[in-house]
């Protein structure tokens, strides 16, 4: 069977990896590289590998990705997922007790700060209760906080910075629009409602290791990867799929859209109302990611420098990963990845600027996900992407595995 896969992010690559064993697969990618958010940059005369997009994974909650790495023979190592917050004039802490929590020694005597710490304990308790009793299915996270009399300090000093870091959102307050129950379930699944730290891992040598292994496998199987390819439209019929490029078309038996929902919607020439409605449930935000070594984007208090760092600098929110900690980069000079920095970074200290798009997590997503699950396979069309889950790498892999299984099932049924 001839299969067209649109997009070479994790969902497209994994779909191709499993389907190319038995089928004729062609991947179409508009960029000049494959991998999507799996993007490793080499700095300092190409001696140091640093991930600029996907960086870490949580083994218990990444079963499909773990299986993929095992099959590919790609190694990973434990990583530090420490987190710090620095809002001048309000709060300054890092998650370790007691020195991190009380990095600002004056807070030992602050009643407001102690209330904040107690609110974290209360939040974890009421969150677990909501999950247990299946509550707040229709409410937003801010409505959940209000209903449980959880303070603005909890939201602004702890919960919203944490969620903005996880989901790469520009304004931390936007986390209040997240679907309450689904978000709480995510936090619980990743043990973020526990006081004990969850163990995370990072790929040795960067995510390029697994991307390269898949690329070599596809080459060995004679699968085709078409880079820098702009698709005009995709036309579907009862007989085939036609992919139009430069006013010429290429015929396939089925198509897998491993692109963002909005791109998929634009590519389908003969889109029907149900498909259009489902794909319209997903919004995206563009995030500027800067790989650099400018230390002014993290707290001046180096005692709270963590793997993940949320700071306010001159009233502007800045989120920065310290890659030396996160990926065990052995350099005296810190290497950082900052998201949407509105602070001027020394140009001499910038390695790379790159825009990535991330799904905006809202109640609409849940509706769209259900609708797309009912559309899989119709009109010779399949959908894969992290947007069909929480928006993370495992979700991208899981969506691809799901599509592969549906395709195999359909082939068996038709036989």
Examine the domain organization and report whether 126 and 271 are in the same domain.
Answer: no
- Same domain assignment for residues 221 and 275: yes
Residue 58, both tokens: 């949580």
pLDDT digits (tens, 9 = 90+) for 217-274: 999 999 999 999 999 999 999 999 999 999 999 999 999 999 999 999 999 999 999 9
pLDDT per position as a tens digit, 116-152: 999 999 999 999 999 999 999 999 999 999 999 999 9
At residue 166, the pLDDT reads 84
| Residue 355, in any domain of the structure | no
Nearest to 304 by CA among 56, 95, 78: 95
Is residue 251 in a domain?
yes
Domain range enclosing 111? 82-197+295-344
The verdict on 212 and 193 lying in the same domain is: no
**Are residue 163 and residue 87 in the same domain, yes or no?**
yes
Pairing of strands 241-245, 233-236: antiparallel
- The span from the CA of 251 to the CA of 255, in Å, is 10
Q: What's the pTM?
A: 0.91
Q: Among residues 244, 226, 228, which one has the least CA distance to residue 236?
A: 244
Q: Are residues 234 and 262 in the same domain?
A: yes
What span, in angstroms and rounded, lies between the C-alpha atoms of 58 and 65?
A: 10
Our count of domains for the chain comes to 2
32 and 161 in a single domain? The answer is: no
Residue 414, pLDDT score: 57
**pLDDT value for 412:** 65
């Amino acid at each position: 069977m001839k299969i067209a896969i649109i997009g070479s992010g994790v969902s497209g690559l994994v779909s191709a990896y499993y389907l190319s064993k038995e089928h004729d697969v062609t991947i179409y990618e508009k960029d000049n590289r494959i991998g999507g958010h799996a993007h490793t940059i080499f700095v300092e005369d190409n001696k140091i590998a640093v991930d600029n997009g996907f960086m870490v994974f949580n083994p218990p909650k990444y079963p499909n990705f773990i299986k993929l790495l095992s099959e590919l023979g790609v190694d990973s190592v434990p990583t530090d997922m420490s987190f710090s917050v620095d809002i001048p004039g309000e709060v300054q802490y890092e998650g370790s007790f007691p020195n991190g929590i009380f990095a600002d020694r004056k807070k030992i005597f602050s009643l407001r700060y102690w209330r904040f710490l107690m609110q974290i304990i209360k939040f974890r308790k009421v969150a677990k209760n909501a999950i247990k009793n299946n509550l707040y299915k229709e409410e937003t996270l801010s409505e959940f906080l209000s209903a449980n009399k959880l303070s603005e300090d909890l939201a602004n000093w702890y919960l919203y910075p944490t969620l903005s870091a996880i989901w790469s959102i520009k304004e931390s307050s936007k986390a209040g629009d997240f679907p309450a129950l689904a978000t709480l379930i995510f936090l619980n699944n990743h043990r973020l409602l526990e006081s004990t730290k969850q163990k995370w891992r990072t790929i040795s040598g960067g995510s390029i290791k697994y991307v390269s292994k898949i690329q070599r496998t596809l080459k060995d199987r004679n699968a085709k990867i078409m880079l820098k390819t702009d698709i005009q439209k995709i036309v579907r019929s009862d007989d085939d799929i036609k992919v139009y490029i430069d006013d010429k078309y290429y015929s396939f038996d089925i198509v897998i859209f491993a692109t963002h929902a909005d791109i998929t919607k634009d590519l389908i020439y003969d889109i029907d109302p149900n498909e259009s409605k489902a794909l319209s449930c997903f919004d995206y935000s563009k995030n500027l990611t800067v790989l650099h070594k400018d230390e002014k984007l993290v707290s001046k208090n180096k005692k709270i420098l963590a793997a993940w760092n949320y700071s306010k600098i001159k009233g502007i929110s800045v989120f920065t990963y310290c890659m030396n900690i996160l990926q065990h980069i052995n350099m005296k000079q810190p290497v950082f990845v900052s998201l949407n920095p509105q602070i001027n970074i020394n140009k001499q200290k910038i390695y790379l600027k790159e825009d990535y798009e991330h799904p905006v997590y809202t109640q609409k997503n849940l509706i769209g996900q259900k609708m797309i699950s009912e559309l899989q396979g119709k009109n010779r069309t399949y959908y894969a992407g992290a947007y069909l889950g929480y928006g993370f790498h495992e979700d991208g892999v899981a969506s691809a595995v799901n599509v592969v299984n549906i395709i195999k099932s359909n082939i068996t049924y038709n036989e």
